[in-house]
Amino acid sequence: MRKVALHNLGCKVNAYETEAMRQALEENGYHIVSFNEKADIYIINTCTVTNIADRKSRQMLHKAKKLNKDAIVVAVGCYVQAAGEELNKDEAIDIIIGNNNKSDIVNILEAYYETEANNMFIEDLSGKAQYDEMKMTTVGEHTRAFVKIQDGCNQFCTYCIIPYARGRIRSRSLKDLGEEIPKLAQCGYKEIVLTGIHLSSYGKDLSKINDDEDNKITLIDAIKEVAKVNGIERIRLGSLEPGIITTEFLEELKTVDKFCPHFHLSLQSGCDDTLKRMNRHYTSDEYLEKCQLIRKYYDKAAITTDVIVGFPGETDEEFEVTRNFLEKVAFAEMHIFKYSKRQGTKAAVMENQVKEELKSVRSDVLIELGERLREDYIEGFIDTEVEVLIEEPIIIDGKQYMTGHTREYVKVIMDIPEEYVGKIVQAVIKGRRKNQILLANMKEMY
Q: Is pLDDT above 60 for 445?
A: no
Q: Coil, strand, or helix at residue 127?
A: coil
For residues 198 and 264, give the distance between their C-alpha atoms in angstroms, rounded to a whole number.
12
Query: How far, rounded to the nearest angstrom, does the alpha carbon of residue 320 sit from its chain's CA centroid?
Result: 29
109-166 pLDDT, tens digit per residue, is 999 988 876 788 988 887 777 888 887 776 656 789 999 999 999 999 999 999 999 9
**Residue 195: strand pairing partners:** 148
For residues 235 and 227, give the distance between their C-alpha atoms in angstroms, rounded to a whole number.
7
Sheet with 170-171: strands ordered across: 170-171, 144-151, 191-196, 234-237
pLDDT of residue 211: 66
188-208 pLDDT, tens digit per residue, is 999 999 999 999 999 999 976
The listed CATH number (3.40.50.450, 3.30.930.10, 3.40.605.10, 3.80.30.20) that belongs to domain 144-379: 3.80.30.20
For residues 190 and 193, give the distance between their C-alpha atoms in angstroms, rounded to a whole number.
10
Q: What CATH architecture is 3-121?
A: 3-Layer(aba) Sandwich (3.40)
Instruction: State which amino acid sits at residue 299.
Output: D
> Cβ of 342: how many Cβ atoms within 10 Å?
23
- Cβ atoms of 266 and 306 within 8 Å: the answer is yes
* Residue-averaged pLDDT of the chain: 92
* Least confident among 120-124, 205-209, 311-315, 395-399: 205-209
For residues 264 and 242, give the distance between their C-alpha atoms in angstroms, rounded to a whole number.
10
Give the torsion sign (CA, 63, 69, 70, 72).
positive
Per-residue burial over 224-241, b = 16 or more CB atoms within 10 Å of its CB, e = otherwise: bbbbebeebbbbbbbbbb
Sheet with 3-8: strands ordered across: 31-33, 3-8, 41-46, 72-77, 95-97, 120-121
pLDDT of residue 207: 75
**Measuring CA to CA, how many Å separate 288 from each of 148, 276, 321, 395?**
28, 17, 14, 39
Tell me the pLDDT band of 446, cut-offs 50, 70 and 90. Answer: very low
Q: List, in sequence order, every beta strand (DSSP E) within 152-284.
A: 170-171, 191-196, 234-237, 262-264
Residue 206's nearest CA partner among 192, 225, 191, 193 is 225
pTM across the whole model: 0.90
**Measuring CA to CA, how many Å separate 371 from each of 319, 378, 383?**
18, 11, 21
For residues 433 and 412, give the distance between their C-alpha atoms in angstroms, rounded to a whole number.
9
Residue 399's nearest CA partner among 416, 386, 383 is 416
H helix or E strand, kind and range, residue 178: helix 174-186
Instruction: State which amino acid sits at residue 254.
Output: K
For residues 112 and 403, give the distance between their C-alpha atoms in angstroms, rounded to a whole number.
45
* Least confident among 115-119, 170-174, 259-263, 406-410: 115-119
Average pLDDT in the 320-336 region?
98
The topology under which CATH files domain 385-445 is: OB fold (Dihydrolipoamide Acetyltransferase, E2P) (2.40.50)
Residue 279's nearest CA partner among 196, 125, 151, 160 is 160
Domain boundaries, the chain: 3-121, 144-379, 385-445
**Measuring CA to CA, how many Å separate 127 from each of 114, 213, 218, 366?**
32, 19, 21, 39
Instruction: State which amino acid sits at residue 369.
Output: L
- Cβ atoms of 437 and 412 within 8 Å: the answer is yes
